[in-house]
Structure 1
Amino acid sequence: MTFKNLPSQYINGEWREGISSLSMENRNPYCGELIATYKAASKEDLDKAYHAAAMAQLKWSQTNPVIQREVFEKAVQYIEENHAAIVEIIIEEIGGTRLKAEFEIGLVINLIKEASTFPFRMEGKILTSPIDHKENRVYRVPIGVVGVISPFNFPFFLSMKSVATALATGNGVVLKPHEHTSITGGTMIAKIFESAGLPKGLLNVITTEISEIGDLFIEHPIPRAISFTGSTKIGKHIGAVAGKNLKQVHLELGGNSALIVLEDADLELAVSAAVFSRFTHQGQICMSANRLIVHEAIYEEFVEKYVAKVATLTCGDPKNPNTIIGPLINEQQVKVTRALIEKGIREGANPIIKGNITGNIVEPVVFTEVTPDMKIAQEEVFAPVISILKVSNEKEVIEYANNSSYGLSGAIHTKDVERGAQLAKQLDTGMIHINDTTINDEPHVAFGGVKNSGIGRLNGEWSLDAFTTLKWISIQHQARQYPYS
């Protein structure tokens, strides 16, 4: 199977190009090779996609859960059978390494398996009433149609995270992938579900630019909820527009995660976790550790071991199975990264490792002598650049870690796990992991952040809540006496 030849739009079960006059290019971020060209979707295409989803959803919501579950089981089977082709397109379109591709596919499979249980978890309740002979029934029902906007970093997984769970709870979906990852984040997902037997019209994919559709994706009257994963700046705009239109929003936004190494930590484990937390997929993960907060008692030894480990990381062609750090997604991300590195140096941070920048490949940069107020410690850095901060006590740990407008993930390394757990409770972040990496996502555990890192939680029962609503139906079994008639 080759996914590169799929048309850019999948609307009402039909593959076609958009009707906009805008042409779009999809290029390999490592070598710049042209993967595909598309005609973008127009507002008319988007309107058709939403109407198709709404029509198909009415029947899907009444479909036997056994049949619904079979679709997700077949989707997993399709992914497993086309595993090699999916790995190749993740490498080619995203610039992900083979290690990253395997990791992402594993996340997707586990997610779909969890979603396959949702048709059997649409449970309701029968509640008592203060009124005699009255029965209260509360039903869990789909919200209707969900609009999903996905990012470029883990597009297969982060699209599927909302798409699969929204479908599994009986909804229709319109998916807009990032323009640089329209295959792995969009049309490949449509192909998977088409092959799995999902009814036509239930899932629609549009590939377009915001310049073509404006805010219509959010403002359109059909979708009841918008699920967005991406930057905080855009997330705030989406939240504002959705609020004006009384739509639910689920926003998974940026991060500036801190990995904390206390004086009693297992240093070898902490170093390995810290390297993985920063350099996986070139640091282009919202949960990546942007800051390492290290106790002064072990600071020098930690830095020495950390630098030695970072020096072994291979950079270059993501097709090479030995490559750990591949390209950033595009030139704009490289430009932003270069500016942050230069700003860090001007502010007094010490780049004890400062790799080269060649094309979209940014080699590791490790800063020491970083203070909490520096821009590199305050901003989300979506690249293989890390800041190391020194602290002398737990009070400083809490102060430094919480000195951020973000609050997505984090990690604490200590041999005293209860000490770590108590410290974790004082950190203003949605997720934190003891003696582990900052990068964790499990399909049955609540995922999400606080502050500028987003609104809402997904995975497991939290996804069930996100994409359903409750309907109260009461039954008066015997005639009720009213105060007047």
Structure 2
Amino acid sequence: MAFYKKLNKSFIEGKWVEGNGHRLLPNTNPYNGETFVTFQLANEQDVDRAYKSAKQAQGEWMKVNPYQKRTVLEKALTYIEEHEEEITEIIIKELGGTRLKAAFEIGLVINILKEAATYPLRMEGRILPSPVDGKENRLYRKPVGVVGVISPFNFPFFLSMKSVAPAIGAGNGVVLKPHEHSPITGGTLIAEIFDQAGLPKGLLNVVVTDIEEIGDAFIEHSIPTIISFTGSTAVGKHIGQKAIQHFKKPILELGGNSAFIILDDADLDYAVEAATFSRFTHQGQICMSANRILVHSSLYEDFKQKYKAKVSSLKVGDPSDPETVIGPVINEKQAKGLETLINKGIKEGAVPLLKGKIEGNVVHPTILTDVTPAMCVAQEELFGPVVTVMPFNTDAEAISMANDTTFGLSGAVHTSNIDRGVQFAQNIETGMIHVNDITINDEPIVAFGGEKHSGIGRLNGQWSLEEFTTMKWVSVNYKQRTFPY
């Protein structure tokens, strides 16, 4: 039996269970349309059971020796390494991801698990002095309790694990709701991994459901203290508002409109390679993908020629073929939305240097040139293999163009002068920007997050530890105080 066949149920109270919702969820291969498993969706009662289970188990998890907690996370890591081929198969079948994408995503998961495995031994506190004689201030780092995690469909294995593993490592219970297009990769696969690693039953729960079944119940439930969401800005805005209304902390990793900027002294051939990877990895379905390529006017024509040749060489089609670079987008709605955006951009004056055909969910690459910042294709997130190219004349103009967006997630600047690149990068309104590199970067110990409409909060390393814990102040008076009355 295929590995994924047993992962078609929700995981609640440490058991694989059918949801109690009214509808079925067919899990469909975006490349060939095959339904390979079906889920019975969970409902509000299932969500309630999941949160109560996580809360009860978390009380016991807090008491577990930190070294034992670390061992569980290390066993999860070992399980992934031993089942890499089966996980790769799921990423290809469920997401339309290529083998290259699968290897990239699994590598990210391994790194974040290694970091999360250090958290149980980093729950240290502090002792601080007091202006009151004979008094001592103790600060204890404590888990927040239960964390609700909502993950997206593009890199679901990693973007679920990015919150789940650190939250567990910091001593919390977790309820995970994966996207309905990635219920296995972003949900039940993770439940299986931690179950096999020996995580206490009930601590991690996975509910496979959708908004039609549960509304806002996942966010509004009384138990979770944090809602960690990765996805679109529109949905993130709603989740953030609901979370705050119920006095929950939102952690939001949202959309992007990243600029890839090529200054006049850049290594053009290298920049072409980096710009290609920055846009077309996983069909451009990455929040950090380069939506806008800004090129100095002195290099503009040469760049267009070299970039078109490079992008045209990318193999498009079946993601199971090891040679394929660009597979399908996640569904028909996404493909049609890209087609609408492309046509609208051309109508507004963009010139197609390369206009790819659309076959089902497979969208061939499109490069739109002579784009201006006001065009829809320059302002909206292009979540697919479509990219815009714009010329500029001065660094100041490039900075202005790069900042002319409501988003602020990632970016890249290419130049032969490192100091110039760093100075330039400091002026871009974004949470992350990379000099002589790609826009797609996520490292386990470096702060990750966006500015403006790209999110709230920072994850990875010490930042995830801080997000998923709280500090408790316990003061100790070693002698009696004197009061004024």
TM-score w.r.t. length of structure 1: 0.99
Match of 1:161 in 2: 162
Structure 2 distance, partners of 1:61, 1:380, is: 41
Identity of aligned residues (%): 61
Structure 2 distance, partners of 1:337, 1:169, is: 40
Match of 2:371 in 1: 370
Match of 1:443 in 2: 444
The answer to whether the 8 Å contact 1:7/1:16 transfers is no
Structure 1 distance, partners of 2:406, 2:443, is: 25
Matches within 5 A, 1:258-297: 258-297=259-298
Deviation sequence 1:262-300 (CA, Å, 0-9, x none): 010011110000000000000000000000000001111
Pick which of 6-15 and 198-207 moved more.
Answer: 6-15
**Distance apart, 1:397 and its partner CA:** 0.5
Structure 1 distance, partners of 2:89, 2:24, is: 25
Runs of 4+ in 1 over 2 A off after TM superposition: none
**Distance apart, 1:5 and its partner CA:** 2.3
Matches within 5 A, 1:39-58: 39-58=40-59
Match of 2:355 in 1: 354
1:470 aligns with 2:471: yes
Deviation sequence 1:320-371 (CA, Å, 0-9, x none): 0000000000011111111100101100100110011000000000011100
Deviation sequence 1:401-424 (CA, Å, 0-9, x none): 000000000000000011000011
Match of 1:186 in 2: 187
**Distance apart, 1:302 and its partner CA:** 1.1
Structure 1 distance, partners of 2:397, 2:8, is: 54
Structure 2 distance, partners of 1:257, 1:324, is: 21
The answer to whether the 8 Å contact 2:412/2:437 transfers is yes
Matches within 5 A, 1:221-240: 221-240=222-241
Q: Which amino acid aligns with 1:107?
A: L
Report the number of matched residues: 484
Query: Tell me, what secondary structure is at the counterpart of 1:175?
Result: strand
Match of 1:325 in 2: 326
The answer to whether the 8 Å contact 2:120/2:171 transfers is yes
Structure 2 distance, partners of 1:69, 1:271, is: 43
Matches within 5 A, 1:290-309: 290-309=291-310
Q: Which amino acid aligns with 1:302?
A: F
Deviation sequence 1:175-228 (CA, Å, 0-9, x none): 000001000000000000000000001000000010111111111000000000
Structure 2 distance, partners of 1:244, 1:114, is: 32
Deviation sequence 1:55-75 (CA, Å, 0-9, x none): 000111121110000011101
Query: Tell me, what secondary structure is at the counterpart of 1:181?
Result: coil
Match of 2:90 in 1: 89
**Distance apart, 1:42 and its partner CA:** 0.7
**Distance apart, 1:244 and its partner CA:** 0.6
Structure 1 distance, partners of 2:460, 2:75, is: 21
1:214 aligns with 2:215: yes
**Distance apart, 1:4 and its partner CA:** 2.8
Query: Tell me, what secondary structure is at the counterpart of 1:407?
Result: coil
Query: Tell me, what secondary structure is at the counterpart of 1:179?
Result: coil
Matches within 5 A, 1:58-97: 58-97=59-98
**Distance apart, 1:260 and its partner CA:** 0.2
The answer to whether the 8 Å contact 1:356/1:362 transfers is yes
**Distance apart, 1:6 and its partner CA:** 1.8
Structure 2 distance, partners of 1:336, 1:417, is: 39
The answer to whether the 8 Å contact 1:421/1:434 transfers is yes
Structure 1 distance, partners of 2:96, 2:24, is: 22
The answer to whether the 8 Å contact 1:24/1:37 transfers is yes
Structure 2 distance, partners of 1:51, 1:363, is: 46
Query: Tell me, what secondary structure is at the counterpart of 2:274?
Result: helix
Match of 1:381 in 2: 382
The answer to whether the 8 Å contact 1:18/1:45 transfers is yes
TM-score w.r.t. length of structure 2: 0.99
Structure 1 distance, partners of 2:273, 2:284, is: 15
Pick which of 301-310 and 283-292 moved more.
Answer: 301-310
Query: Tell me, what secondary structure is at the counterpart of 1:269?
Result: helix
Query: Tell me, what secondary structure is at the counterpart of 1:4?
Result: helix
Query: Tell me, what secondary structure is at the counterpart of 1:452?
Result: helix
Structure 2 distance, partners of 1:146, 1:270, is: 41
Match of 1:413 in 2: 414
Structure 1 distance, partners of 2:19, 2:347, is: 47
Match of 1:130 in 2: 131
Q: Which amino acid aligns with 2:373?
A: P
Structure 1 distance, partners of 2:271, 2:62, is: 47
Deviation sequence 1:13-32 (CA, Å, 0-9, x none): 00011011111111000000
Structure 1 distance, partners of 2:5, 2:126, is: 47
Structure 1 distance, partners of 2:470, 2:337, is: 41
Query: Tell me, what secondary structure is at the counterpart of 1:424?
Result: helix
Structure 2 distance, partners of 1:15, 1:368, is: 51
Query: Tell me, what secondary structure is at the counterpart of 2:51?
Result: helix
Q: Which amino acid aligns with 2:242?
A: V
Structure 2 distance, partners of 1:370, 1:28, is: 34
Q: Which amino acid aligns with 1:465?
A: E
Q: Which amino acid aligns with 1:134?
A: K
The answer to whether the 8 Å contact 1:147/1:175 transfers is yes
Match of 1:25 in 2: 26
**Distance apart, 1:7 and its partner CA:** 3.3
Query: Tell me, what secondary structure is at the counterpart of 2:3?
Result: coil
**Distance apart, 1:241 and its partner CA:** 0.5
The answer to whether the 8 Å contact 1:446/1:460 transfers is yes
Query: Tell me, what secondary structure is at the counterpart of 2:398?
Result: helix
Structure 1 distance, partners of 2:159, 2:310, is: 29
Q: Which amino acid aligns with 1:461?
A: Q
Query: Tell me, what secondary structure is at the counterpart of 1:48?
Result: helix
Match of 1:242 in 2: 243
Structure 2 distance, partners of 1:394, 1:34, is: 50
The answer to whether the 8 Å contact 2:259/2:290 transfers is yes
Match of 2:400 in 1: 399
The answer to whether the 8 Å contact 2:137/2:475 transfers is yes
Cα-Cα RMSD: 0.7
Query: Tell me, what secondary structure is at the counterpart of 1:167?
Result: helix
